[in-house]
């Protein structure tokens, strides 16, 4: 047993964030099951509902999935006939992701999902907004630090 506070599980922010993320994804699961989507697929569809006809690089940036993670998700969504993957007319090396009519229609079915999740979280709206802002700040700081250490 250690009595070093820095090594106590209860003191680890990573554990709190990991646990909260897993709980949130579990809360999404029954709602997304009704849409026939996994959580990762839902994130991709959210990005595409926001902006359709995008190159994969843009989708990587917006979803924060690396290309190796994103490609199988896109292929699965394509097999569900929710999107198509085509060569760009501007650059044949680029792939463009385009929602199908079924993919666009799924947005109507999904529109209540955010409210349904919010209804499960008994947290004031300003606290939710602050939590999101802090999570974005943490992501940015870590990502910046990782990027700068990669170049050293």
- Tell me the CATH number for domain 11-146: 1.10.10.10
C-alpha count within 13 angstroms, C-beta hemisphere, residue 82: 20
| Alpha helices per DSSP H over 2-151 | 13-35, 39-50, 56-63, 67-79, 101-110, 113-120, 125-150
When pLDDT is averaged across residues 99-116 and rounded to a whole number, the result is 97
The count of residues in the chain is 152
Q: Which of 77, 13, 8, 16 is nearest to 47 (CA)?
A: 77
- What is the pLDDT at residue 152? 59
Where exactly are the structural domains of the chain? 11-146
Write the secondary structure of 77-89 as one string of H (helix), E (strand) and C (coil).
HHHCCCEEEEECC
Per-residue pLDDT reduced to its tens digit, 66-94: 999 999 999 999 999 999 999 888 887 88
When pLDDT is averaged across residues 41-69 and rounded to a whole number, the result is 96
What is the Cα–Cα distance from 29 to 38, expressed in whole angstroms? 7
Burial status of residue 45 (CB atoms within 10 A of its CB: 0-12, 13-18, 19 or more) = buried
Strand partners, 85: 97
- What is the pLDDT at residue 147? 74
- What is the pLDDT at residue 91? 80
What is the Cα–Cα distance from 121 to 124, expressed in whole angstroms? 9
Instruction: Look at residue 96 and tell me whether its pLDDT is greater than 90.
Output: yes
Instruction: Look at residue 137 and tell me whether its pLDDT is greater than 90.
Output: yes
Per-residue pLDDT reduced to its tens digit, 15-30: 999 999 999 999 999 9
- What is the pLDDT at residue 90? 81
Residue 74 near residue 56, CB atoms below 8 Å: yes
């Amino acid at each position: 047993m250690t009595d070093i506070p820095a090594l106590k599980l209860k003191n680890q922010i990573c554990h709190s964030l990991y646990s909260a993320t897993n709980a949130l994804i579990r809360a999404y699961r029954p709602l997304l099951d009704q849409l026939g989507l996994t959580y990762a697929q839902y994130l991709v569809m959210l990005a595409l509902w926001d902006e359709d006809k995008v190159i994969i690089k843009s989708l990587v940036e917006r979803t924060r999935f690396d290309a190796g993670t994103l490609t199988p998700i896109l292929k699965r969504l394509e097999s569900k006939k929710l999107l198509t993957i085509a060569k760009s007319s501007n650059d044949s090396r680029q792939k463009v992701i385009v929602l199908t009519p079924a993919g666009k229609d799924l947005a109507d079915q999904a529109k209540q999902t955010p409210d349904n999740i919010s209804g499960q979280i008994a947290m004031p709206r300003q606290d939710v907004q602050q939590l999101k802002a802090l999570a974005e700040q943490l992501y940015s700081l870590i990502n910046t630090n990782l990027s700068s250490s990669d170049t050293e």
